[in-house]
Structure 1
Amino acid sequence: MAAPKKGRRSPGGQGRPGRVLAFILIAMVALTGGMFASGHTTPRLGIDLAGGTSFTLEAKNQPGKPNAITTTNMNTAVGIIERRVNGLGVSESEVQTQGKKHIIVNIPKGMNAKQAREQVGTTAQLAFRPVLMAAPSGKLPEPTPSASTGGKDKGDKDKKDKPSGTPSASSGSTPSATPSGKHTQGRAVTEALKAPQAPKPTPTPTPSGSSSGDLQKQFATLDCSTPAARSDAAKAADRAKATDNVVVCDKDGQEKMLLGPVGVEGVDVTEAKAALDTQRATGWQVQLKFNGSGAKKFADITGKLAAKAPPQNRFAIVMDGESVSAPQLSAAIPGGSAEISGNFTQSSAQDLANILSYGALPLSFDIVNETTVSAALGGEQLRAGLIAGAIGLALVIIYLVAYYRGLALVALASLACSAVLTYTIMVLLGPAIGFALNLPAVCGAIVAIGITADSFIVYFERIRDEIRDGRTLRPAVERAWPRARRTILVSDFVSFLAAAVLFIVTVGKVQGFAFTLGLTTLLDVVVVFLFTKPLMTILARRKFFASGHPWSGLDPKRLGVKPPLRSSRRRPSASADPKEA
């Protein structure tokens, strides 16, 4: 009994075309539902269509390096800035050199321009410095003999503010740094220092150009709550040498710190990423790795700091003269791997990971110009492109209807299926990977109409060739499929290969064209295999097509079939149609 069922299976491998057709229709409904559920019903647009922000960065020589502005360093800086911007989830951004000392950064509208500006403009050196003193923002009273950061009052304050013994989720909470695979939450030092009090003097190396007393006075009088004071402190710290002590503010202006000489340079960080700790359920953390020399220096400095009392058991990660994080240590961290954990959100953990990964540029830059890009010109070009695409699509439809007649319905339904899949996937890729639609991408989608229509034509012509050889429609549909399938796959493979090469070797807007072309080429294969072929198999069983109606596009007379072959269905004969046997 099983043999006849097996014999009805089509040569194309689709014994139940209705199920295959139902599968792709369900996929289309699911993608459309996901689009509406995500709240995104239109694709994200690139800077040429939606407008955006453009930054102009000017390179400047670093102290002691008068000839640092070279083509190599500028290209390296472009790569780092591009990765830094893309680390924010910004796609279709443009980062390119202009002249010998300028870099242009274009960021599409809809992205967090302020956040991008901070990270794009944050192009000075990254360094790890030990914390010598720490206090909340604001001026401190004059030191008194009884003032101390580690006495009984401090312990009472800790008990009053944090009865549970865990860090508060406020901006003053201090993350902790631990070896990879171990975790120590640690207490929030800055919570204990929120009440104004004099810092405990700590013997520190005297920096060149100023005295220890001057730095302590600067530390006591610094008020990080004002942007002007933070800017002045950052510029002074940025001008300091690696062997100098510096006074800095944290990036939120909530804490000020007196820091020692640089312990580890930012260039020693080889990898940094944000990760969710699912094993110990400690939330988001930043995992970082150092190179060989950096691992040794990091192990030495963490071993020394871990043996000290708060706040000197902390190290600050300094960027552009500001502390972006200042975790505390509980033990030495050997091996070149560490975790920074604490009250991180996903966004703050990713921001810190980006800074650690891409912070150390070979040059320093100033933002000399910031402008808003209008989308008016891009909108006019888009309208012109859509009009051209509509005219081309109309011509394709007219040709299909005039030449293929009833088969044109199959082609148009397949084009509609491809359009739905392409549109929904583009919309969903916006929030997923940051894909943004620009003018070249629209051009790629229009070109894809011809590629998709070409696949249908190849299949239809194979079917018509089989009918010319004397076969009826149902066997013609199945026998034509293997040959058409091979031609379609080869053609689409060539198109996809060209799109992949173009995507790899180009940058900026041209990548949008290549990405769209590659995506629509893959969808062409999906539509032809899962929609066009099963739809033709179903329609071949309908009398309108199977009988060769003049408007079906499969009329034997129009195809040049001899009349005796049409009557062969009524009087089957083995000798009349040997191929059918």
Structure 2
Amino acid sequence: MARPPQGQQHPGRQLAVLGLIFVVLYLLAFFGFGATGSVTERLHPKLGLDLVGGTQATYVASGPVPSDSNMQEARNIIDNRVNALGVSEAEVVIEGDRNIVVSLAGEARDELKNVGQAAQMRFRKVVKVTGDVAATALNPPSAAPSVAPSGSAPAAPGTPSANPSGGQGGGLPAQAPAPSTPPSAPAPAPSASAAPVTPDQQELRAAVEKKVGAAAFAAAAKLTDPVDISQDRNAAKQYAKFATLTPEEVNVLPAQMQFNVPTISCEEQLNKRPPGAIDDPKAQVVSCQSGAKMMLDVAKVLGTDISNASPQMDQQSGQWVVSLDFTGEGQKKWTALTREAFQPQPNDPCLTAAQSASQGATNCLVAVVLDKEIISAPEIEGVLTGQSQITGQFTGESAKELAGQIRYGALPVTFTSATTQSVSATLGTQQLQAGLLAAAIGMALVAIYAFFYYRLLGTVIFLSLGISALLTFAALVILGRTAGLTLTLAGIAGFIVSLGVAADSFVIYFERLKDEIHEGRSPRSAVPRAWIRARRTIISANTITIMAAVVLYIVSVGVVKGFAFALGLSTILDLVVVFLFRHPIMTVLANTKAFLSPRVSGLGRVLKRAETEEPVPSRRVKEA
């Protein structure tokens, strides 16, 4: 006589594993991953924009109306930048033909300040520096950012250095030291190219000439070097009206005039020029660092020459850095630029600029420029032939932000920040209340039906759904802190839909149990047989749901992605509950007197039918 299949002999082990998972999750929710505040605050999931309100920023494309493809590309880049900061389910949408709106949950975020920046990165040799600038002006003792090979140790802050570990405030040490002899070909002289002037700019330039006076404008155009107005009172009076120009008016002036006119300031004019003011890689431009003007050569290495950028913790210095990997052609350009700065010709003006910025400098400076800002302008102390780092006073967030801007590329459209406003969650709160009320009514009906139809088995259904809900809640709290997962109305809908999947697995199991009893087996022996026959169906159904959720998550954006994630997460946790609670608890109940009672167990009809009817013989194939 064939022995019945052995069921789960030690259900206590599975229940203990489930209890351990439960305890670990809630310990992490209470004490791990930066949990602070009261019990309510520690167990508060991260809520989405539609539930708690948040911040909404609008970016307007400058210049002519951009193409649809450029706007879509800009939207994707901004979306990637926001997600790279750990902000989940941010809404990034295109409105009209030139607006992009970014919405984030919670209070106003600093992330919104920079996600709309063009992120045009340029590497330019420093040709001139205004005045007799002290070394601490360009590289203060706080260790201004610099560029160095990966794994190099920065020099002591504020200390000039000519060794491979770095220059003042962190330099550009050599990965592959160049020979001491000059290169066979002389370093190219700085280009004197200027940005082309459009008719509109020509008209604005004429208006500026009229505003400052023709004589002052003509005198400024003839300047070849900055004028020291502290020693020349007449010059201070002659160029005084240039100080009244707006940043937009200063932007239309030639770069040489912006640099040489002493009354054109960094703080109020040059730093506030419109976005894209110095993006042209083929023209010399003027930018500022620590209040000093810098004339920068044409850009010989661009952001597109960088293949990857990542935030890292430097093991030697213990500081956050941004590691740069160049493309094949980009690495050649970067090596050539560092060689040109490391081995300048004696008459190269970049050497004079480096000596003005840092007393005793023997090599040129290379400025790392992001949009209008000079991130760093260190002295080149070697020829860089591999991976390099941008180092400085970065925090984890600022390093991640800069790496994301570089990695995801420059925006094809220049944007200006139009408005930043708070968004109320009143409508979302009303919808949430209505949705939770509908869910509660539905769950109540399911519970009533389960207890009426399955009785004791209905208790198993109720406990399983409760445990699944508690595990899901703990996962939401932890993922909200670590991965930026936010709970939105769409996510709540995903969790509610998953309850239907869980209910289906109950029906499959319990109805299979009834079939086994109807075939003449006792409830105690029917439980393991029903599990074996129902297990494959339950796994298949849940796997299909998980696969659908994964596909939907990959191809969707915004709130639909949140719905897919919630559906997949809750379905996985339902499988955990099925294996670690539902079947073990059924094995325990099968050994109780209540389970054998037709009136209590919920198997009354099928047990009575099994007593009055002959057992249904199992179909077996006998071996010959």
TM-score class, shorter-chain normalisation, is 0.7 to 0.9
Q: Say which SS state the counterpart of residue 263 (structure 1) adopts.
A: strand
- 1:456 corresponds to 2:506: yes
For 1:263, the equivalent position in structure 2 comes to 300
Shift of 1:254: 6.9
Q: Deviations over 1:27-71 (max 9, x none)?
A: 11111121111233111111111111222222234xxxx68x222
- Aligned counterpart in structure 2 of residue 19 of structure 1, from 7, 13, 23: 13
The CA distance in 2 between the partners of 1:521 and 1:291, in whole Å, is 42
- 1:534 corresponds to 2:528: no
For 1:299, the equivalent position in structure 2 comes to 335
The CA distance in 2 between the partners of 1:313 and 1:282, in whole Å, is 28
- 1:511 corresponds to 2:554: no
For 2:51, the equivalent position in structure 1 comes to 49
Task: Indicate if the aligned counterparts of 1:327 and 1:340 stay in contact, CA closer than 8 A.
Answer: no
- Are the structure 2 counterparts of residues 474 and 305 from structure 1 closer, same or farther at C-alpha, using a change threshold of 3 Å? farther
Shift of 1:24: 0.7
- 1:246 corresponds to 2:246: no
For 1:560, the equivalent position in structure 2 comes to 609
Q: Say which SS state the counterpart of residue 478 (structure 1) adopts.
A: helix
Q: Say which SS state the counterpart of residue 361 (structure 1) adopts.
A: coil
Task: Indicate if the aligned counterparts of 1:418 and 1:523 stay in contact, CA closer than 8 A.
Answer: yes
Following superposition of structure 1 onto structure 2, how do residues 52-67 of structure 1 map, counting pairs within 5 Å?
52-61=54-63
- Are the structure 2 counterparts of residues 527 and 193 from structure 1 closer, same or farther at C-alpha, using a change threshold of 3 Å? closer
The CA distance in 1 between the partners of 2:296 and 2:109, in whole Å, is 31
For 1:36, the equivalent position in structure 2 comes to 30
The CA distance in 2 between the partners of 1:358 and 1:132, in whole Å, is 30
Bigger mean CA offset, 100-109 vs 83-92: 100-109
Bigger mean CA offset, 363-372 vs 458-467: 363-372
Following superposition of structure 1 onto structure 2, how do residues 355-434 of structure 1 map, counting pairs within 5 Å?
355-434=405-484
Shift of 1:473: 1.8
- Are the structure 2 counterparts of residues 368 and 190 from structure 1 closer, same or farther at C-alpha, using a change threshold of 3 Å? farther
- 1:113 corresponds to 2:109: yes
Shift of 1:124: 5.4
> What TM-score do you get using the length of structure 2 for normalisation?
0.75
- 1:127 corresponds to 2:114: no
Shift of 1:348: 2.6
For 2:225, the equivalent position in structure 1 comes to 213
| RMSD across aligned positions (CA) | 3.4
The CA distance in 2 between the partners of 1:184 and 1:219, in whole Å, is 39
For 2:495, the equivalent position in structure 1 comes to 445
Bigger mean CA offset, 185-194 vs 96-105: 185-194
- Are the structure 2 counterparts of residues 281 and 551 from structure 1 closer, same or farther at C-alpha, using a change threshold of 3 Å? same
Task: Indicate if the aligned counterparts of 1:184 and 1:330 stay in contact, CA closer than 8 A.
Answer: no
For 1:72, the aligned partner's letter is S
> What TM-score do you get using the length of structure 1 for normalisation?
0.80
Task: Indicate if the aligned counterparts of 1:204 and 1:212 stay in contact, CA closer than 8 A.
Answer: no
Shift of 1:204: 6.2
Following superposition of structure 1 onto structure 2, how do residues 71-150 of structure 1 map, counting pairs within 5 Å?
71-110=68-107, 113-114=109-110, 116-123=111-118, 125-132=120-127
Task: Indicate if the aligned counterparts of 1:324 and 1:352 stay in contact, CA closer than 8 A.
Answer: no
For 1:213, the aligned partner's letter is D
- Are the structure 2 counterparts of residues 74 and 240 from structure 1 closer, same or farther at C-alpha, using a change threshold of 3 Å? closer
- Are the structure 2 counterparts of residues 532 and 371 from structure 1 closer, same or farther at C-alpha, using a change threshold of 3 Å? same
The CA distance in 2 between the partners of 1:387 and 1:92, in whole Å, is 25
- Aligned counterpart in structure 2 of residue 185 of structure 1, from 123, 147, 154: 154
For 1:572, the equivalent position in structure 2 comes to none
For 1:123, the aligned partner's letter is A
The CA distance in 2 between the partners of 1:8 and 1:304, in whole Å, is 85
Shift of 1:281: 5.5
- Are the structure 2 counterparts of residues 222 and 427 from structure 1 closer, same or farther at C-alpha, using a change threshold of 3 Å? farther
The alignment covers a number of residue pairs equal to 515
Task: Indicate if the aligned counterparts of 1:218 and 1:247 stay in contact, CA closer than 8 A.
Answer: no
- Aligned counterpart in structure 2 of residue 283 of structure 1, from 314, 319, 342: 319
The CA distance in 2 between the partners of 1:85 and 1:91, in whole Å, is 8
Shift of 1:237: 7.6
- Are the structure 2 counterparts of residues 559 and 188 from structure 1 closer, same or farther at C-alpha, using a change threshold of 3 Å? farther
- Are the structure 2 counterparts of residues 580 and 563 from structure 1 closer, same or farther at C-alpha, using a change threshold of 3 Å? farther
Shift of 1:134: 6.0
What's the % identity of the aligned pairs? 39
The CA distance in 2 between the partners of 1:82 and 1:256, in whole Å, is 34
Shift of 1:544: 1.2
The CA distance in 1 between the partners of 2:3 and 2:30, in whole Å, is 41
Unaligned runs of 5+ in 2: 37-41, 161-166, 170-188, 196-220, 227-255, 344-350
The CA distance in 1 between the partners of 2:395 and 2:275, in whole Å, is 31
Q: Say which SS state the counterpart of residue 601 (structure 2) adopts.
A: coil
Q: Which one scores higher on RCO, CA 8 angstroms, separation ≥ 6?
A: 2
The CA distance in 2 between the partners of 1:511 and 1:148, in whole Å, is 53
Task: Indicate if the aligned counterparts of 2:119 and 2:406 stay in contact, CA closer than 8 A.
Answer: no
Shift of 1:220: 6.2
Q: Say which SS state the counterpart of residue 550 (structure 1) adopts.
A: helix
Shift of 1:94: 1.3
Unaligned runs of 5+ in 1: 1-6, 136-142, 159-166, 195-202, 566-575
Shift of 1:9: 11
For 1:70, the aligned partner's letter is S
Task: Indicate if the aligned counterparts of 1:178 and 1:330 stay in contact, CA closer than 8 A.
Answer: no
- Are the structure 2 counterparts of residues 187 and 212 from structure 1 closer, same or farther at C-alpha, using a change threshold of 3 Å? farther
The CA distance in 1 between the partners of 2:599 and 2:275, in whole Å, is 86
Q: Deviations over 1:489-534 (max 9, x none)?
A: 1111221122122112211111111110111111111110111011
Task: Indicate if the aligned counterparts of 2:364 and 2:379 stay in contact, CA closer than 8 A.
Answer: yes
Q: Say which SS state the counterpart of residue 89 (structure 2) adopts.
A: coil
Shift of 1:394: 0.5
For 1:289, the aligned partner's letter is D
Shift of 1:459: 0.8
The CA distance in 2 between the partners of 1:450 and 1:176, in whole Å, is 57
For 1:319, the aligned partner's letter is L
The CA distance in 1 between the partners of 2:83 and 2:364, in whole Å, is 34
For 2:597, the aligned partner's letter is G
- Are the structure 2 counterparts of residues 314 and 553 from structure 1 closer, same or farther at C-alpha, using a change threshold of 3 Å? farther
Task: Indicate if the aligned counterparts of 1:206 and 1:212 stay in contact, CA closer than 8 A.
Answer: no
For 1:208, the aligned partner's letter is A
For 2:73, the aligned partner's letter is T
